[in-house]
């Protein structure tokens, strides 16, 4: 019997999966996805079964804005991130690094984080963007009308169950975007 390889060699989760869409207040919640609204009071996330977790994301320094397009210019049909979660972005401007913190993680577990961006901005190139999670930096493209994913595998929180996350634009115009993210408990 043959088994299919896991996409991108990502370790299969053995625990909860949490899916989060970055939205503004005008969007309704998408089934199995949490809605995270910057500059709002944040509760804990639910996993994909609807069970409450202790995990939440807080802003250490406030974000620039949320940009909601209400549509995407070209359907993406991504297996992890449906088009409906890609139509709004956390918008980070002018070389500013935005720092956030994941809290409530289990210090005895490891996690995979997948961050997705879809700069839906009419054929404008935004260079690259930097994602830093727990001190590890990943750089992804930041051009329009395509989904870009940033993977962090086997990440351990500190003894308090926290992990710091930072995002910043790099390159020609120094903007960054965040559309959604997934947390997989290993």
**What would the pLDDT profile of 61-120 be if each residue is shown by its tens digit?**
766 555 555 555 566 778 888 877 776 666 666 567 888 899 999 999 999 999 988 765
Average pLDDT over residues 39-53: 85
Task: Provide the total of helices (H) and of strands (E) in the chain, helices listed first.
Answer: 0, 13
Quick one: tokens of 92?
């980070």
Q: What is the pLDDT of residues 29-40, one digit of tens each?
A: 677 888 887 766
Q: What is the pTM of this model?
A: 0.83
pLDDT band at 4 (very low <50, low <70, confident <90, very high): very low
pLDDT at 174: 66
Enumerate the β-bridge partners of residue 132.
Answer: 137, 166
Least confident segment among 6-10, 131-135, 166-170 = 6-10
Enumerate the β-bridge partners of residue 22.
Answer: 36
For 29, 40, 102, the CA distances from 25, given in Å and listed in that order, are 10, 9, 21
- Provide the edge-to-edge strand list for the sheet that holds 136-141: 56-59, 98-103, 163-170, 128-133, 136-141
CA proximity to 182, closest of 11, 62, 48: 48
pLDDT at 15: 86
Domains and CATH numbers, the chain: 13-185 (2.60.120)
Residue with the larger pLDDT of the pair 22 and 63: 22
Helix (H) or strand (E) holding 77: none
Residue with tokens 């070209």, as numbered in its chain: 74
């Amino acid at each position: 019997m043959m088994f299919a390889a896991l996409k991108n060699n990502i370790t299969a989760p053995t625990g909860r999966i949490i899916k989060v869409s970055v939205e503004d207040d005008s969007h309704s919640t998408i089934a199995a996805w949490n809605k995270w609204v910057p500059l709002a009071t944040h509760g804990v996330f639910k996993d994909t079964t609807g069970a409450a977790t202790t995990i939440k994301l807080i802003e250490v320094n406030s974000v620039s804005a949320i940009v909601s397009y209400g549509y995407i210019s070209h359907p993406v049909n991504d297996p992890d991130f449906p088009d409906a979660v890609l139509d709004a972005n956390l918008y980070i401007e002018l070389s500013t690094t935005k720092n956030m913190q994941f809290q409530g993680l289990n210090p005895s577990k490891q996690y995979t984080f997948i961050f997705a961006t879809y700069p839906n901005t009419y054929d404008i190139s935004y260079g690259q963007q930097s994602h830093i999670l727990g001190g590890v930096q990943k750089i992804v493209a930041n051009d329009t009308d395509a989904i870009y994913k940033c993977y962090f595998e086997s990440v351990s929180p500190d003894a308090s169950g926290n992990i710091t996350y930072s995002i910043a634009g790099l390159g020609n115009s120094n903007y960054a975007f965040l559309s959604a993210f997934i947390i997989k408990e290993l």
